[in-house]
Structure 1
Amino acid sequence: MRADEIVHTVLDIREQIEVKTCAIEGSQWIPMQSIPQHMEVLSRASPVIVQCHHGVRSAMVTEFLRNNGFENAWNLAGGIDAWSRLIEPDMPRY
């Protein structure tokens, strides 16, 4: 690992049908409604970048995680839609 790389988790909280359309490579999928039951699989020691379609649901989950001890939880502003436009333009959009 390079010195400027940070170990992190990209947490995809979208519904299964959305994930089947497109996903960020290496992301971990836990649907939004399952987050409270599956928080233990996430590391509190490294950043968790939460993403959904446009960033609204992920903002709510980011706040929930921070309120439950995940100080390094961050919302991916604009969601996977912004990612597909700005980072990975060949990714399918919906």
Structure 2
Amino acid sequence: MIPTTDVRRWPPEELRRRLDASEPLVVLDVREPEERLLSAIPLPPSVLDLHVPIGHVPERLDALREVVAGRPLVIYCHHGVRSLATARWLADRGMADVVNLEGGIDAWSTAVDPGVPRY
């Protein structure tokens, strides 16, 4: 089944603004482990930084619900395609306040932090 729920989308600059404001966020990286080794968005200690490859998200649904606990869940991948699909899938299963990082880590690297390696 194709996800039907649309989700909010933040450009990288919006995530940067919210991180700078110390908003309580959960950030979920759905890339594969090999990609995470190449680069990751550096997050402050106040942000819960999760890594669950997209193929493992269904089996971690209950754990994700528990850990999010009312905070916005910002999801990213390489270019924003896998994260958007994941965000819609989670929203279709009742998760509220799910956000896709537009353009993924690649957009983050070009628009916000050129120190994060591109691949």
TM > 0.5 fold call = yes
Match of 2:33 in 1: 16
Change (3 A) 1:68 1:44: farther
SS of 1:50's partner is strand
Query: CA shift at 1:48, angstroms?
Result: 0.4
Runs of 4+ in 1 over 4 A off after TM superposition: none
Aligned mate of 1:34, from 27, 51, 56? 56
Q: How far apart, in 1, do the equivalents of 2:72 and 2:99 lie?
A: 7
Distance 1:84 1:28 in 2: 19
Q: Which runs of 5+ in 1 are unaligned?
A: none
Identity %: 37
- How many angstroms does 1:93 deviate by? 0.6
User: Does 2:98 align with 1:53?
Assistant: no
Q: Structure 2 CA distance, aligned partners of 1:6 and 1:64?
A: 24
Q: Corresponding residue for 2:9? A: none
Counterparts of 2:42 and 2:62, CA distance in 1: 22
Shift in Å at residue 44 of structure 1? 4.5
**SS in structure 1 of the partner of residue 57 of structure 2:** helix
Which of 11-20 and 23-32 deviates more? 23-32
Describe the SS at the equivalent of 2:84: helix
CA distance in 2, matches of 1:14, 1:53: 7
Give unpaired runs (5+ residues) of structure 2. Answer: 1-20, 44-48
TM-score by length of 1: 0.89
Q: Is the CA contact (8 Å cut-off) linking 1:10 and 1:48 kept in structure 2? A: yes
Amino acid at match of 1:30: V
